[in-house]
Structure 1
Amino acid sequence: MNILVVSDGQQDDRLLRRRLEAEKYIVDWASDGATAQQLARRHLYRVILLDLALAPRESREFCSSLRRQGVEAPILVLSSSAEEHDEVEGLNAGADDYLGKNFTYAVLLARLRVLVRRGGLSNQVIRAGNLWIDPAARRCGRGEVDIPLSRQEFAVLLRLMRSAGQALTKVEILEGAWDMAYACRGDTAIVAVYVSILRRKVDTPFGRNAIKTVHGVGYRLEIEE
Structure 2
Amino acid sequence: MRKAMIVWGGWAGHDPDLCASIMRGWLKEEGFDVRMETSTAAFADPAIHDLSLIVPIYTMSKIEKEEAANLCAAVRGGVGLAGHHGGMCDAFRDAVEYQFMCGGQWVAHPGNIIDYRVDVTRPDDPIMSGIADFEYRSEQYYMHVDPANEVLATTTFDGEHAPWCKGVVMPVVWKKRYGEGRVFYSSLGHRAYELDVPEVKTMMRRGLLWAAR
Higher relative contact order (CA 8 A, sep 6+): 2
TM-score above 0.5, yes or no: no
Question: What TM-score do you get using the length of structure 2 for normalisation?
Answer: 0.42
Between Structure 1 and Structure 2, which shows a larger proportion of strand residues? 2
Between Structure 1 and Structure 2, which shows a larger proportion of helix residues? 1
Higher alpha-carbon Rg: 1
